[in-house]
Amino acid sequence: MIIRMSDEASGEERAQLLALLGSVTGNQHPISTTRLDEREVIVLDGSQVDEQACKLLRQHKAVESVLAVKTAYQLVNRAFKPEGSRIVVGDALGGNPVVIGSDGSEGAIAVSGPVIIGGPCAVEGREQLLAIARAVRDAGAQVLRGGAFKPRTSPYQFQGMGIEGLDLLAEAREATGLPVITEVMEPDLVETVVSYADILQIGSRNMQNFPLLLAAGCNSKKRPVMLKRGFAATIDEWLLAAEYIMAAGNPNVILCERGIRSFDTHTRNVLDLACVPLLHELTHLPVIVDPSHGTGRRELVPTMSRAAIAAGADGLILEVHPDPNSALCDGRQSITAEELSGIVREARVISEMMYRSAGLSRVA
């Protein structure tokens, strides 16, 4: 249940409302209010509130509206924002602004075309990153990716360049105008990464790292967060993880499907593209697809990129390397900038076709 507070409520009326909520819920949970889009909201597990209490809440002077949401996830539910979220990234740190997501006027199809994010799995050095950043921009991608802190399965593998890698990402943004996305793994590093990155990435392994989700939700600049699906996470678990970020006050959440684990070893993961149209039904948050981690094989990346756009993805995130075979991380699934430029072209054509067949026209 989502209660929107009235802007005109006096301090006394607010206190009365909080007391009423306390008695309605049996004072079992602290009542917390969140500021989202300049409005104050209170979110409760709807099953705690009966019809009678709901009526009292609707009539209360401090309440503007009460929305009964039937799922455990509330703020991320499409019922809260039927029009869909458009998230502006990249304008705060000097990069080119990019809009991710659809505002609903064009159905489930991204408003300004799919957003393509490209770059190396890991930042490996200055030359490497600047060369890739330029190539990625020239290929038509709008955002640069690159891991500075890498979650690696083995402690003996390259762990990323750390802060030095963040410095290089900032330099690459300055050189190309591309906003940058990079992973943050620790709550204590969130503010550091916020000062460098346009989008914070929370990786698959950390999807249910609740202190990290809260820290990303509370980040001082409301920097957008791209939340990758845990490799063994159900869609509800994923949406509830996104709910943690929103409930902490950050409405700028982007979901990223990157494949889930199964029994077959031919692909690294099973890319769940059915989740894309499903998520558009369940949530207002934009959905990005990662065919690199989703397949683990570069030869499958172009086909699955086309499929992801056809399924309604708002964008793609792709691992790109000038010499994939010598990449320090995830070379097997990395493509070249030339291959990226083909994917960008195809993604635009498919999205344009979907747009037109929906009877819409895009303003260039």
Strand ranges in 262-344 using DSSP code E only, listed in sequence order: 287-289, 315-319
Which residue's Cβ has the minimum distance to Mn ion? 121
Q: What CA–CA distance (Å, rounded) separates 259 from 319?
A: 15
For residue 204, the partner it binds in Mn ion, ligand PEP, none, with Cβ less than 5 to 8 A by kind, is: ligand PEP
- Minimum CB separation from ligand PEP for residue 202, in Å? 8
Residue 298 interacts with which of Mn ion, ligand PEP, none, CB < 5 to 8 Å by class: none
Q: How far is the CB of 11 from ligand PEP (least distance, A)?
A: 45
| Beta carbons of 346 and 139 less than 8 angstroms apart | no
For Mn ion, which is the closer residue by CB, 330 or 339? 330
> Closer CB to Mn ion, residue 121 or residue 276?
121
Q: Min. distance of Cβ 207 from ligand PEP in angstroms?
A: 8
Contacts of the segment 272-278: beta carbons below 8 A, 24+ positions apart: 272/229, 273/304, 273/307, 273/308, 273/311, 274/311, 275/229, 275/235, 276/308, 276/311, 276/312, 276/313, 277/108, 277/311, 277/312, 278/235
Instruction: Report the interface residues with ligand PEP, using CB under 6 A.
Output: 121, 147, 151, 203-205, 228, 258, 293
State CA 347 to chain mean position distance: 19
C-beta of 99 vs 121, nearer to ligand PEP: 121
Least distance in angstroms from the C-beta of 306 to ligand PEP: 20
Whole-number Å distance between alpha carbons of 198 and 91: 8
Residue 83 neighbours by CB distance under 10 Å: 11
Compute and round to an integer the Cα radius of gyration of the chain: 21
Q: Choose from Mn ion, ligand PEP, none: what does 258 bind? Cβ within 5-8 Å by kind.
A: ligand PEP
Letter string b/e over residues 243-252, b meaning 16 or more CB atoms within 10 A of that residue's CB: bbbbbbebbb
Given Mn ion, ligand PEP, none, residue 173, with its beta carbon under 5 to 8 Å by kind, binds none
Cβ proximity to Mn ion, 223 vs 321, nearer residue: 321
- How far lies 201's CA from each of 46, 136, 183, 224, in Å? 31, 19, 4, 9
203 binds, among Mn ion, ligand PEP, none (CB under 5 to 8 A by kind): ligand PEP
Q: Which does 115 bind (CB under 5 to 8 A by kind): Mn ion, ligand PEP, none?
A: none
Instruction: Answer with the entry of ligand PEP, Mn ion, none that 78 interacts with (C-beta below 5 to 8 A by kind).
Output: none
- Asked whether the beta carbons of 133 and 340 are under 8 A apart, the reply is no
Of residues 1 and 216, the one with the C-beta less far from ligand PEP: 216
CA distances from 251 to 40, 287, 342 (A): 13, 14, 33
Residue 71 or 267: which CB sits closer to ligand PEP? 267
Looking at the chain, how many residues does it have? 364
33 Cα distance to chain centroid: 23
Q: Examine residue 301 and tell whether it contacts Mn ion (CB under 5 A).
A: no
Residue closer to Mn ion by CB (options 204, 351) is 204
Phi-psi sector, 84: left (phi>0), alpha (psi -120 to 50), beta: left
Q: Closer CB to ligand PEP, residue 59 or residue 153?
A: 153
Per-residue buried b or exposed e for 65-74, using 16+ beta carbons within 10 Å of the residue's own CB: ebeebebebb
Q: Could you say which of Mn ion, ligand PEP, none residue 252 binds, taking C-beta under 5 to 8 angstroms by partner kind?
A: none
CB of 345 to ligand PEP, least distance (A): 23
Q: Residue 330, interface with Mn ion (CB under 5 A)?
A: yes
Nearest 5°: the CA angle 274, 277, 281 is: 130
Shortest approach of ligand PEP to residue 120 CB, angstroms?
9
C-beta of 27: minimal distance to ligand PEP in Å? Answer: 40
Task: Report angle CA 258, 123, 170 to the nearest 5 degrees.
Answer: 105
Pick 231 or 244: Cβ nearer ligand PEP: 231
Residue 121 engages Mn ion in binding (rule: CB under 5 A): yes
- Which residue number has the CB closest to ligand PEP? 203
Contact residues for Mn ion (CB under 5 A)? 121, 330
